[in-house]
Amino acid sequence: MQFSAQQIADMLQGIIEGNSLVTVSTLSRIEEGKPGSLSFLANPLYTQYLYTTQASIVIINKDFEVKEKVAATLIRVDNAQTAFAKLLELYNQIKLNKTGIATNAHIELTATIGNNVYVGPFAYIGENVKIGNAVKIYPQVYIGDNCVIGDNTTLFAGVKVYSETQIGKNCIIHSGTVIGSDGFRFDPQNEGNEKIAQIGNVVIEDDVEIGANCAIDRATLGSTVLRKGVKFDNLIHIAHNVEVGEHTYIAAHGVIAGSTKVGKNCMFSGQVGLVGHLQIADNTIITAQSGISKSITKPGEVYMGSPAFDANKYRKAYIHFRNLEQLVQRVAALEKSK
């Protein structure tokens, strides 16, 4: 799809300098600009590329002073980075604006499908499933019996949603993620470590985004819950009966063990692990590769290390740890001098 400089300027309420009829059909970084592409300049470190880029249109700030000849058509806006982000979102909406049901998708007769829905090839929708309006179900998605999918939710290719799962509105679930798989529960007291049946479900509230190849286990009883606005990176495992509070962010390789309750507005960096049955207070920040073995009860604290404790104390302790060899040598020298 092509857009002219004039159309882009109208969308951004910008001012054109150059050919208003020039068209673009793709986006590019300014240092890699090619004819027919749209780029932007916001960071002063990239100013040099404005004069050499082959991009057809470049978005710049209104107060930017051009000091050399520029081949591209310029569109001046209040904030180039914000304007370009807006265009990225519009471009993404257009690119992902799919509708229609593929002839080789399978939808059980008891399922209910809303308006303007997209169901891709080889997708499966089970018995008594309820699909809202403007939902997008990409190829090879599996949705088990009795699931509910809210309006404007997108399930990318290969997502697997086990039975009884409830997913809210405006959610995004990326490829390879499995929602509702069995919790990891076995009875070691019985011969053969018999599996304990997992008969609960997963509840995902509105505006949640889950990255690729995550696993969200169903509850043993009750629900595993992701509250409104939760955002997950790729490769995250959430165990049975976990609850993650509103607007909590978890980076890649995060693991939360069974029945732990995480508060709202928390931020966990990569490779953070939490043992089971903990309570994590609101606004908690946990740095990368930390291991949490005890509940955090005071809101707004920062934790670091494994086992993790207060980040300021950890940094001070780490200074001593790095000097441990020298301390040992000093102690040994003192003992020899006696």
Catalytic positions, please? Answer: 240
For residue 221, the tally of other CB atoms under 10 A from its CB is: 12
CA distances 54 to 1, 6, 19, 37, 68, Å, are 20, 19, 15, 8, 15
Which residue's entry shows tokens 């080889």?
Answer: 122
Nearest to 287 by CA among 312, 323, 316, 319: 312
119-128 contact pairs (CB < 8 A, 24+): 120/157, 126/163
- Tokens found for residue 188: 């070691």
> Do you find a cis peptide bond into 35, omega within 30 degrees of 0?
no
Nearest to 135 by CA among 171, 174, 175, 182: 171
- Tokens found for residue 295: 């509940």
Nearest to 202 by CA among 242, 232, 229: 242
DSSP 296: B
